[in-house]
Each structure stands twice: as C-alpha cells, then as structure tokens.
Structure 1
Amino acid sequence: MKAVIQRVSQASVSIDDLIAGRISKGLLVLICAETADTESTADRLLAKLLKLRVFSDAAGKMNRSIQDVEGGLLIVSQFTLAADVWSGNRPGFTGAADPKTGERLYDYFVQAARKLHPIVETGAFGANMQVNLVNDGPVTIPIQL
C-alpha cells in the first residue's frame, strides 16, 4: 500500500458540495491499494501510521504520535498514488489494485482504524472528492509498504 500523510490543523473532504468527513488537529491520510496488497499490508500500514511520531512535544521536537495527541484521522482513498509517469506523458495506473480489491482493502483499513483510534473520518471510495486542508508545518510524508 502507498500512503501520503499530511499533518493538519484542520482538513475536510466534500462530495457534491456536502462535507463527508472533517477533522481538526490530526492526519490527512491519502491511501492507495496496489496489486499485491493484502489485509496484512493494511495492518502494517495502520500500525506504522498510529505510532509515527510527527507531532511536536513540549521541546518542539517531532516526538508524539497521533494517539499521543488524540488527533483525528481523515482517510481518503486515492488510487492515483499508484501512477506510473515514467513512459509518456499520460499516467498509467496498472500498479493500483483493481477497484473491487481496492475498495475491500480501503474498507478494511478504515474499519481497523476505527477499532484502534477514536476519531476516524473518511471520504467515499471511488467518489469525486474535494479535499481541503491546512497543512501544519508543513509536514507531508510518503509511506510505501
């Protein structure tokens, strides 16, 4: 799985001008399932995400996790993270999981996150979404498992 996480002071995702999910301080998580991914891959990504120390402690060092700061997670599916742009000018997406598998793994990831973290908001798999955020720092970190 691939993910891009952004530390935010606020973020929201809208579908057809209606807010589907909104968080204040936390992490915006853009995720993409790839062809070889399984539930085990999703579990490893979630474990990494929940323990990743990207929030500042009292000394201003990035030393606290999303769980430490009790922040929100806004999880948004984004198959374009699997884009291959190395041949030609039009991105290819053959590395992305097929839509059925991608949706199953996205749903699995969201449900697992909800079991382990109290504040989880989402977009909708496959929807045309508008994501708004205030990147705090800015801190943006790509993760690939």
Structure 2
Amino acid sequence: MPRPRTTAPPLAPAGHDRSGAFPHTAIQAVHDAGLLTADRFKQAAGEIGTLLSTAEQLISGATGRLDRAVPVSGAEALAAKVIAVRHATAAVQAGVRLLGNPGLAQDSPLERHFRDIQSAGVHASQEDTALPGIGAEVPAASGASS
C-alpha cells in the first residue's frame, strides 16, 4: 500500500485567482482597459505570485523529502513554516491592498483567505518560539561552539 502523501496543497490559490480576476470582470478603468493592464496591478500580481510560489516551494520541498523518508531537521521545518506563513500573509495582504474594499466583501474568496491567514502565525510553533530554536541550531550546524 503506498504511503500517504504529506505534501500540502498550493497556498492561497483562490485568493490569487480572485485578485487576478477581479480587475478583468468588475472594473473597467485606466483608459477603458481592465485594471490588470495597469503597471501597478502587473507588479502586484508578480509580487503575489512570487511570494506564494516561494512559500509553496519551501513547504513542498520539506514535505517531499519527508515523503521520500529523507530526514528534515526541526529547525529546517520550522524555518520553512515561518517563511511560508510570512510570504502567504504578505501575498494576501497585497491582494487586499490591490483590490481595496471589494477584496474584503463577504462573498470574496480573498476575504476568507485574509481571515484565515491572520491565524496561521499563531498555530504551533509560533514564530516567537520557532526563531530561537532555529537560532540555537545555527552554531551547531556551522561547527561553532557555544
């Protein structure tokens, strides 16, 4: 029987989809072109995509190694979680800033992502306890004595 996969699903795709679709479907501006053609929307979409892609790569890399029974240190797993949460939070916040009030409407998938991501950092291990643990392993990994 194959071992169950631990790989997490892609991070916040509905939020990214919503911030990408809204300018096309809901607003026509900037010389009668969809807002997505405006440089600031292209830049924000690139930032959001980069943040989510990096977060997904970190989590998928760690879980993929676990799926292959390759050891992942606690510090490495914690570091991936800390950075992935930071990136996902920044991506959703960028989407909300980009869309403004419509991004926070109750029927917006982005609104749900915004509420969910606010709680991601408080799940164990929280950043304030994870970072000292990660820092404690740095001297050991580099061969320095404490």
So what's the TM-score if we normalise by structure 2? 0.29
CA radius of gyration, larger in: 2
So what's the TM-score if we normalise by structure 1? 0.29
With a CA cutoff of 8 Å and minimum separation of 6, indicate the structure with the bigger relative contact order.
Answer: 1
The structure where strand makes up a greater share of residues is 1
The structure where helix makes up a greater share of residues is 2
